[in-house]
Structure 1
Amino acid sequence: MTEKTVTAAIVTYNRLPLLKESLAAVLAQNNYLSHVIVVDNLSTDGTKEYLDGLDDARIVVHHADENLGGAGGFNQAVRLFGEQLNDDFIWLMDDDTIPEPDTLSHLVEFTLEHPEVGFVNSQVRWGRVNGNPSWMNVTAPRPFTWQRYLMNSKEPAVEVVNATFVSVMFSREMVAMVGLPQKEYFIWGDDMEYTNRIADIKRGYMVMNSIAVHKSKENTKPGDIVAETDDSRLWRYNYEYRNRVLTARRISKKEMFKVISVAILRDWRKTLLRKNVTSRGKKLNIIMRGLWRGLFFNPAIEYVLGLKIAKTQSLRDSEMDLLD
């Protein structure tokens, strides 16, 4: 069998020291790596000059004309993978992701042993290899599957609902089926929505021995507006709540109502009633405005030029057929 090849993709914005560390770790992978796409979101810290000075045929650099946000950057990276390269898989990460030398090998080898897999992602640790889990990158196991992992600690992977774009890999075939990440999300939630699309066709798995380090500033829970104390970050939550609603809508109306209810009964209520909440009024407005915008937010899904094939039946539909 011909060895499979992988394109890694890193999206970066004004974090040159971390980008250098991430790129070095990616280029040091011990197997399967063929290309590395770096999408620079109009950085102003010398990133452009650094990337333009690299002399490695594996590296493909794209300088954006504007800051596309993380979502737009990953949209462009997957588009470049589909249109300009011929590798079998694409492996996505932020510029503060530092994979171990064998991180990619474990992802590929699990996928080759389990061809029914739609995507695979790594265990993500915060700050260092033996650090705590990176909470923003911990995704839920699929219901009614977790019991077998309690019974057998030697399971090579855990079936998960979705994944973040911090060391996640999927095939060219999946790109052809589900299209591109939703660039209109701009920031937050685009990875969940996209891996939901994949997992509706083929399931996703966290590969236990594939380890990546996430060097984010803080090890916070995702989208926790109540605990947020940095006023300069609040604009992000406008996208968080809007994007949550669309992601849920694309699953079902029931899921949409659940997401809206949780946002109001938990986040809005806690923001209103809990003591010592900073920027209380602004946060309350952001939650309600974001939820409202999400009801009408419905950008079209894009596909790679010349790379589109019909999806197989939805696994949700298959499961419903079994219940009928």
Structure 2
Amino acid sequence: MPGSPLIDDSVAAPGERVVAVVVAWNRRELLGQCLDALAAQRRPANAIVVVDNASTDGSADLAAARDVVDEVIAMPRNTGGAGGFTAGIAVAVVRQHADLVWIMDDDTIPGPGCLESLLDVRALYPGRLALLASRADWKDGREHPMNTPRSRLGASSAERSRAASLGCRPIRSSSFVSVLIDAMAIRAEGLPVADYFLWNDDFEYTARLLRHRRGLYVPAARARHLTKAFGDSSADPGPRFYREVRNKIWLFTHSQALNGWERVVYGASTLRRWARTVRASRERATLGSGLWRGLVDGLTARPRRNDEVLADCPVAHEIQELENPR
């Protein structure tokens, strides 16, 4: 990135401990498919942590009954995807001693060679990678537009060539659907922002990890993302549009994920997307209300600390160790 030298540590040693983190909420059947897929990996994770966001459909019991699962974190309430991943990543690094954390939602079904492909690229790349993102397909095999990683604008020709030689491309951010993250980068940057609850937590966190570090999109690592509908974040969101707006404002004003020119570029892109979303919506009144409330709350408040948001959850010690070490 222009004006931002990338951190380039030596390549990590082979035999790294991989801990998979699955965040679950009221999708018991899909969680079962996800865990089956994790058990079927050609190179399985060394441990699996399931974070259950106070499901009412027996998801936590299903996870606890599976031999492949090493730890189930039962949250006392639904903390959203952001809170779930914050908790899971903290447990993976601190309690499970992960070198690499492989994260996904319960509707993510990794193919049998998914983790193996991510690790192969990591081993072959000349330098340390903070993040590797899988290709996410919808149920019909089309690449899911919701999960296509953003390319790294300004990547050097040498970076692009190194990535291309491995069938990859340099990226600036990604979704949380089958992403492998280096624990060293997690310890340096902290955790996702739990107060986002839903939407843009993945954009903020992965962009923060990759501001001064390298990440790759690895199309050979295939997973299916079994959302109900095929589409990107501009699909009609209804009341959730509030969090899209509030969290984007928080990202642009309170996060260190983006530099100055990126705020301009991504900010303009965001305004265009919001306009398209509202124009295409059948619930314009709902989106208009969400837009107004999101702007007000985004500009008048700021995200709370993770140890405040998750104070009543069984991860306080792990968050403290990662974000507020003594």
TM-score bracket for this pair, using the shorter chain length: 0.7 to 0.9
Q: Give the structure 1 partner of residue 302 of structure 2.
A: 297
CA contact (8 A) 1:246 1:297 kept: yes
CA contact (8 A) 1:177 1:309 kept: no
Equivalent-residue separation in structure 2 for 1:32 and 1:17 (angstroms): 21
Please tell me the residue identity of whatever aligns with 1:211.
R
TM-score by length of 2: 0.82
Q: 1:154 to 1:284 in 2, by over 3 A?
A: same
Moved over 6 A (4+): 146-150
Please tell me the residue identity of whatever aligns with 1:297.
R
Q: Give the structure 1 partner of residue 19 of structure 2.
A: 7
Q: 1:39 to 1:8 in 2, by over 3 A?
A: same
Whether 1:279 aligns to 2:291 is no
| Among 12, 21, 40, the residue aligned to 1:28 | 40
Please tell me the residue identity of whatever aligns with 2:302.
F
| Among 274, 299, 308, the residue aligned to 1:267 | 274
Q: Give the structure 1 partner of residue 57 of structure 2.
A: 45
| Among 138, 146, 153, the residue aligned to 1:136 | 146
Q: Give the structure 2 partner of residue 193 of structure 1.
A: 204
TM-score by length of 1: 0.82
Equivalent-residue separation in structure 1 for 2:95 and 2:58 (angstroms): 26
CA contact (8 A) 2:38 2:44 kept: no
CA contact (8 A) 2:139 2:226 kept: yes
Structure 1 residue 41 displacement after superposition: 0.7
Alignment of 1:102-181 (within 5 A): 102-114=113-125, 115-128=127-140, 131-145=141-155, 155-181=166-192
Matched residue pairs, number?
Answer: 297
Larger radius of gyration: 1
Structure 1 residue 146 displacement after superposition: 9.4
| Among 205, 216, 219, the residue aligned to 1:205 | 216
Q: Give the structure 1 partner of residue 241 of structure 2.
A: 237
Please tell me the residue identity of whatever aligns with 1:110.
V
- The gaps in structure 1 that reach 5 residues or longer are 311-324
Q: 1:301 to 1:50 in 2, by over 3 A?
A: closer
Structure 1 residue 64 displacement after superposition: 0.7
Q: 1:239 to 1:14 in 2, by over 3 A?
A: same
| Among 71, 75, 80, the residue aligned to 2:91 | 80
CA contact (8 A) 1:184 1:299 kept: yes
Question: Which stretch of structure 1 is more off in the superposition, 168-177 or 140-149?
Answer: 140-149
Q: 1:73 to 1:185 in 2, by over 3 A?
A: same
Equivalent-residue separation in structure 1 for 2:103 and 2:136 (angstroms): 13
Please tell me the residue identity of whatever aligns with 1:285.
S
Q: Secondary structure at the match of 1:33?
A: coil
Q: Give the structure 2 partner of residue 288 of structure 1.
A: 292
CA RMSD of aligned residues (A): 2.8
Q: 1:211 to 1:309 in 2, by over 3 A?
A: farther
Equivalent-residue separation in structure 2 for 1:269 and 1:135 (angstroms): 16
CA contact (8 A) 1:178 1:198 kept: yes
CA contact (8 A) 2:109 2:224 kept: yes
Q: 1:244 to 1:106 in 2, by over 3 A?
A: same
Structure 1 residue 3 displacement after superposition: 1.4
Equivalent-residue separation in structure 2 for 1:185 and 1:163 (angstroms): 16
| Among 228, 243, 250, the residue aligned to 1:246 | 250
Q: Secondary structure at the match of 1:90?
A: strand
Deviations 1:81-131 (A, max 9, x none): 122111210000010111111100111121122233110010111115xx1
CA contact (8 A) 1:3 1:32 kept: no
- The gaps in structure 2 that reach 5 residues or longer are 1-12, 308-317
